[in-house]
Structure 1
Amino acid sequence: MGKKAIRYAVVDAFTAEPFKGNPAAVCLLEEEGAAADKQWMQSVAAEFNLSDTAFLVRDSSRPVGAAPRFHLRWFTPVTEVDLCGHATLASAHFLFTTVLAEHGMVEFMTRSGILTAKKVTTPGSTGVPEGEQGKLFIELDLPMDNFVSCNTVNNMPLIPKTLNGASVISVHKTTAIR
């Protein structure tokens, strides 16, 4: 696997400006067998040394006319993780701008289930500045974690201080770890 070239990009999620936002590496693997080489992917993620690196492999078994589907895995520099939102967003952006320009939706097969990403338009009422209208916006459908409420007074007294005195309406803790 190490001798074959792969397409990759570093994508800044949550921003339209270079060197802002949350960067993730996205690697498009051409061979389905490549996605089985966990050690190689872990080494690549360690080399990128970003919080997350995404690996994509196209699912070639999809019927004609169906939304494109890709296997998607995420690695930190030290381990594989079950879900990474910003690297999923970066993967969708990479695909929509380089591989799937004609498609408006893509599905990802992951350890967390099937995730979807859709290109969306920005109506003027969303608060998006006029200069941002017409740019690529992506809507992700991610799994919902269960959460439990918590008492902010007893459990998290520093939240209002951290938010510079902003009032807190409610705080919830997820049952998931990460």
Structure 2
Amino acid sequence: MFDTLLQLQLCGHATLAAAHTIFTSSFMNSSIVEFVTVSGIVTARRVPEIKTTDGLNSQNGESRESFLIELNFPTTPMADLNSAEVSTISNALNGASMIDIKRTTAKDDIVVILPSGQAVEELQPQFDAIRKCPGRGIIISGVAPLGSGFDYYYRYFGPKFGINEDPVTGSANCALTPYWSKKLGKCDLIAYAASPRGGVLNIHLDEQKQTVLLRGKAIIVMEGSLLV
């Protein structure tokens, strides 16, 4: 997500972090917390995860119990893009081969499907050219390589907001999940944000309610006390 006026209605990263802080503290003993936002009520749910299999906790020598935080969002519809704009977008993506190209109707993002997840990972965008493209930003995606453990890769470019590439954009999956669910014939997917930092999201599409359940993790990297 982006720290701009367009994103002040709801920041997914901050919601995830706030939920993690609550779930790992003594503030409340509940697996569900609701946040009041400008966009409405956002529900965060603590979802059990199988105990980690990467051995012992390096700090105390004990096995770790992990959990995911699930955020519930509506799906984002997509429509066909004006064919006159395709060449501009192709140039901004260094002439990448495009399998499909759409435009989200709510957020006004361009969604470009590339031939493979590897193509997504290796693409070198022209950020100055993206600033001149239609729409808010560009989402690229491609089917994940066999054996990778993922269903699809994606990246989000938003230089118009001063952020060339967002490390992990949860909201992009509100459009990508219905697309890949139909293509792959499944409602439970694992997406990999193939940015330099990277990130993993476990996703479930509720076809009946047309909602996307985004499941991810947060890690506390710093704690402190504020003296007033």
Q: TM-score normalized by structure 2? A: 0.44
1:1-178 map, 5 Å: 2=95, 4-12=97-105, 21-31=106-116, 32-33=118-119, 35-40=121-126, 43-44=129-130, 46-50=132-136, 52-62=137-147, 69-78=151-160, 79-97=164-182, 99-100=183-184, 102-110=185-193, 111-120=197-206, 134-144=208-218, 146=220
- 8 Å CA contact 1:24–1:90 kept in 2: the answer is no
Q: Which runs of 5+ in 2 are unaligned?
A: 1-93
> Partners of 1:71 and 1:136 in 2: how far apart?
22
User: Would the aligned equivalents of 1:108 and 1:114 in 2 still touch at CA under 8 Å?
Assistant: yes
Corresponding residue number in structure 1 for 2:4: none
Q: Superposition RMSD on alpha carbons, in Å?
A: 3.4
Q: 1:87 to 1:34 in 2, by over 3 A?
A: closer
User: More relative contact order in 1 or in 2 (CA 8 Å, sep 6+)?
Assistant: 2
Task: Work out the percentage of aligned pairs sharing the same amino acid.
Answer: 13
CA distance in 2, matches of 1:7, 1:108: 18
Amino acid across the alignment from 1:10: R
- Work out the number of aligned pairs and report it: 126
| Pair 61,22 (structure 1): closer, same or farther in 2 beyond 3 Å | same
Cα shift at 1:141: 1.0
Q: SS at the partner of 1:115?
A: strand
Give TM-score, length-normalised by structure 1. Answer: 0.54
